[in-house]
Structure 1
Amino acid sequence: MTAISVRDLRKTYGTTTAVDGVSFEVAPGETFGLIGRNGAGKTTTVECLIGLRKPDQGSVTVLGIDPANRRELARRVGVQLQDGALPDRIKVGEALKLFASFYPAPADVKALEATWDLGKLRNQAFGDLSGGQRQRLLLALALVGNPELVVLDELTTALDPVARRETWDLVRAMKLAGTTIVLVSHFMDEAEELCDRVAVLRAGKVAAIGPPRELMERAGAQSLEGVL
């Protein structure tokens, strides 16, 4: 049984091939990382996983669902995108209640506010939040539907070092609860700390796949940076 199955995924934009024959599987409950330099194909791969892009070739299933069925996918998958945004005037509390209303059995909004330190921001407008505060809200919104699988794209960008470490602890707690996690990150220490396995993307292809420590040993590197 697999939570995610990607087979020979290909996607081009005009004459540019963004993803060129990518294949991997993610097991239920696994924290799986997608890493690579800018332009490696990470974003396009994730967009195909969550139904924002249609592959030119290949197959993708997420929890047994074709991502083209975005309504069904949205019920079971939480997504936090790096460039996610909300209307500037919507308040934090309003956004959480609105998103919770989309699901038959949502998470407790007050518990999410406490977990992500959003209670004191409840009446703040999205447009007035700092980068780190916005990131915490978007993470909470990704979890409000009690998803079986979560896609986290650069989740600690704009967070200070203390908030970053606290977020790592929350990701570990999600894993312990049985949530499958896809983590896209350019922070190699983050991938080393949180991921069971990573896929290294290079020029739209999977250059290596495996546990971070194993890939580092193979490459004779002290960190995942040396594997890229």
Structure 2
Amino acid sequence: MENEKALIVFSGGQDSTTCLFWAKERFADVIALSFDYGQKHVLELDCAKAICKKYGVEHHTMNLGLLGEITSNSLTRLDMDVDKEVEEGSLPNSFVDGRNMLFFTFAAIFAKQKGIKHIVTGVSQSDYSGYPDCRDIFVKSLNVTANLAMEYDFVIHTPLMWLDKAQTWGLADRIGVLDIIKNETLTCYNGIIGDGCGECPACNLRRNGYEKYVESKA
């Protein structure tokens, strides 16, 4: 793959930034694509842009604002707080219906226009917070659908699919970007870079994973 290009679906968070550097090790060129879907933590787009500028990655932002207008969830509605606890069998209110389906579909369309077949995303079934569109079976099914729809041989790469958060920190460490991930990415639902607010589910997952990884090295 050393002579090929890759497109990464990029939010500027821990997972997608880890995948960005994973891709930079494996492909001749990497282009990042972020999505503005009306998220209230819109600072993630600024973070994504800053990371790409700093590390020499071509960056694009695509407007999918309609998604925020037609869905009801705590990531797009200012009057809704993110669930801190979720009943078993229920989806968290931070789940955005159809988000990854649209992201991957538009990413594939964008990639084809640039002659890119490889698409990289940071979704994980091992640490997916109950989001059904982060499952391996969904990604594989959409990969097949995109190939059929456009008569194009896309390959969707999911480096984190079977890694938990501690293992994701470990991957970042192995490729030499742990400090970048810890200090320059934005995972927090409240839009705070680095360690975040320390209270939202995303921050808790990130912190617990980091602490588990550090303990494993001790």
Q: What TM-score results when the alignment is normalised by the length of structure 2?
A: 0.33
Structure number with greater Rg is: 1
Going by fraction, where is strand more abundant, 1 or 2? 1
Going by fraction, where is helix more abundant, 1 or 2? 2
Larger RCO, structures 1/2 (Cα 8 Å, 6+ apart):
1
